[in-house]
Amino acid sequence: MCKCVCRIILFLNLSALFFIFCDVCASAQVTTTEESTGPANCVYVAGNPDMYPVEFYNKKTGDYEGIIPEILEKVSEKTGKDFIYVSGGRRNRQSRLAKNCQAEMISAHEAGKINPENIYLEMLVLTIEREGKTMEVYVGFTKIASQELIDQISSAMEQVCNEELTGITLSYMAKSERPGVPAIYLVIAFGVPFLLSVSLSGYVFHLRRQRKTQKENAMKDPLTGIGNADYLEYYFEQVVSPQTIGLYYLAYVGLDIEQVRQYQGETEAEELQRYCASLLSQYAGDEEVAARLDEGVFILLFQSGNDENAEDRIEQLLLMLRTYSNKFSKEYEPVIHVGGYHLEPDSRCDMAVFSARQGYLYAVKNYKDYTLTNRKLLDDAKNAPLLHLEIQEAVKKQQFQMYLQFVVDKNTKEICGAEALSRWENPREGLLNPGKYLEIMHDAGIIAQLDFYILEEACKQLVEWRQQGLGHLHIACNFTRTSICGEDFLPQFKEIVEKYEFNRKKLWLEVTEEFLADNAAAILQNLLECKKMGCYILLDDFGSGYSSLRDLCDFPIDCIKIDRAVLRKVIQPKGMALLRAINTMAHEMDMEVLCEGVETEEENRKIEKIPCEYIQGFYYSRVLPKEYAMEYYRKYSEEGTGNHPLSPC
């Protein structure tokens, strides 16, 4: 036999081609044009001019011919739709037509020849052996092929009988030469026609199943195997009806996966997410949906009769998720928060997710396990764009004010300093807490202006205290990552501080431990320079899980501020042991310790047993306006350490 021997292996049934092409094209005729456009009501095909006998361009007739074009003619007769092969010629223009979405269907092509980003759906339809080499033939659909069109042609495809398919195939098998080129011998294995007629009917079903599988795979999260965002949106429409929408809640489950990844590694981060996905899938009942939306973000669409029952289900879910550490003997407990939202009559999937996320964000900021989103949280989220504009104006008009929360000496219970915080006197909404504007200011790139404004106000207060004979009091100022990593941090910091006369050791700089993970070199350099000026460095939120113990060695830290999340564990023996261990470690490294978030009598009694230096929290002082803070200080000092009047926020 000649080298150009081509054997068509028909085990993959040409019904496959049928199914696919019927999905894309339909017409009373199949034609070819050299143009890349044509009538709007036709289905356009990007053909392969050089894949004889599957598909090829006949230069004599100016048309695409072969097995696929003839199958399309049968389909067009049944659907009434016209197929047009565009950009007809000897040059293969499939890639360009797919990229520019100038055709609904990309006809016969080999795997990898068309950029996957330009193909909406791709199917293997035929395998050819040519000159001893096996070649797989695919067809694909571009993004402009509507699902309605695909479904319509699929239905019509099933009406094409096996005899027609067999006839088309055998017709090209019987031909011994291709127009314009030397003869090609087609060797057909004995019994193929019989196998073809037997298996063709089953292949339409196979392709339909293959197409369904591909669609399902497109909606599957590759890491966990559960549904992804597309899956959630699709099934949201399936299970939630106008009659049942009032029964549904959507839970936004967020894991601090970056913390796990940073300190436990990528493998552990993936295993934790797979575990959560498995639990959610098991927890979801009939007519309920579980999906993974993003890194560390999962959704559970569930039914509940009222808010109380919904909260019970969320609490049960959290308990299940938190079994991970004990079940697999892990040395850490994953940080998990949940936001819940009760669907309203007009709720769409995207809006329901947005609404539940507001509850999640509130839970994170307020150290809550979960929060059901209410109208106020939604109104706050909707007002964010307006606040964005108002904040920029507020910075210019200096509408921000410095507030103070006092810190007490743990042993004497005397006030020894304060933390400087900000509040915004909004002309429209009144006094706003930082949670309303800090994130917006960060996104707008103006957060550093607020940091340095509060720094200057703190310096003024230190001067005032010195003049009043209260020079022993310190003030701690918070600096965001944007500020302390900036190239102009030191010049601005020095310019402000050097304008005022006070004991530099009474100016405390608070940096959150998560900052140390990023831009470490820049932060270290800036903190060392501040230390040279005599300032006191305080590491905030210690125990929230972002820093490593190595950071305590590398950075010039004078004091660690233990996060309230650790303090909340003191009611458990292990929690007390952890708190003692942190204190012992800090003191061994010549660092002081401040316990923040002390709010109750019980927590205060527990802290009494810990050898820390400072205490901060609502139990001793709430966040006070600067003017009222001094009145509170005097009253506190006069009444003695045994009495500490709580003041308004």
Mean pLDDT of 323-346: 90
Give the orientation angle of helix 447-467 with respect to helix 384-397, to 10 degrees: 40
Mean pLDDT of 64-82: 85
Band of residue 208 on the pLDDT scale cut at 50, 70, 90: very low
Give yes or no for residue 155 having a pLDDT over 90. no
Kind and range of the H or E run holding 581: helix 573-588
Q: 115-119, 330-334, 368-372: which has the minimum mean pLDDT?
A: 115-119
- What does pLDDT average to over the chain? 80
Give yes or no for residue 352 having a pLDDT over 70. yes
Q: 178-192, 308-322, 620-634: which has the minimum mean pLDDT?
A: 178-192
Mean pLDDT of 42-53: 88
DSSP lists the bridge partners of residue 45 as 85, 105
- pLDDT tens-digit series, residues 520-544: 778 888 999 999 999 999 998 787 6
Give yes or no for residue 449 having a pLDDT over 80. yes
Contact between 183 and 177 under an 8 Å Cβ cutoff? The reply is: yes
- pLDDT given at position 341: 96
Question: What are the b/e assignments for 37-63, b being 16+ CB within 10 Å?
Answer: eeeeebbbbbbbbebbbbbbbbeeeeb
Among 464-468, 540-544, 641-645, top mean pLDDT goes to: 464-468
- pLDDT tens-digit series, residues 183-198: 333 333 323 333 333 3
What Cα–Cα distance (Å) separates residue 105 from each residue in 57, 158, 369?
Answer: 17, 19, 50
Mean pLDDT of 211-237: 81
Question: Whole-model pTM?
Answer: 0.48
* More confident site: 557 or 126: 557
Contact between 418 and 406 under an 8 Å Cβ cutoff? The reply is: yes
Give yes or no for residue 348 having a pLDDT over 60. yes
Omega within 30 of 0 (cis) for the link into 53: yes
Band of residue 152 on the pLDDT scale cut at 50, 70, 90: confident
Give yes or no for residue 554 having a pLDDT over 50. yes
Give yes or no for residue 452 having a pLDDT over 90. yes
* More confident site: 508 or 173: 508
Kind and range of the H or E run holding 6: strand 5-9
Band of residue 175 on the pLDDT scale cut at 50, 70, 90: low
Give yes or no for residue 16 having a pLDDT over 60. no
Question: Distance between CA atoms of 215 and 230, rounded to whole angstroms?
Answer: 10
DSSP string of 279-309, one letter each residue: HHHHH--TT-EEEEEETTEEEEEEE-SSHHH
Band of residue 552 on the pLDDT scale cut at 50, 70, 90: confident
Q: 105-109, 193-197, 316-320: which has the minimum mean pLDDT?
A: 193-197
- pLDDT given at position 544: 60
DSSP lists the bridge partners of residue 96 as none
Cβ neighbours, 10 Å, residue 433: 15
Band of residue 143 on the pLDDT scale cut at 50, 70, 90: confident
Band of residue 22 on the pLDDT scale cut at 50, 70, 90: very low
Kind and range of the H or E run holding 140: strand 133-141
What Cα–Cα distance (Å) separates residue 632 from each residue in 7, 416, 417, 432, 626?
Answer: 94, 13, 13, 22, 10
- pLDDT given at position 41: 76
Question: Distance between CA atoms of 582 and 568, rounded to whole angstroms?
Answer: 15
Q: 316-320, 370-374, 515-519: which has the minimum mean pLDDT?
A: 515-519
- pLDDT given at position 1: 41
Band of residue 209 on the pLDDT scale cut at 50, 70, 90: very low
- What does the block give as tokens for 382? 């909707």
Q: 85-89, 252-256, 360-364: which has the minimum mean pLDDT?
A: 85-89
Mean pLDDT of 253-281: 91
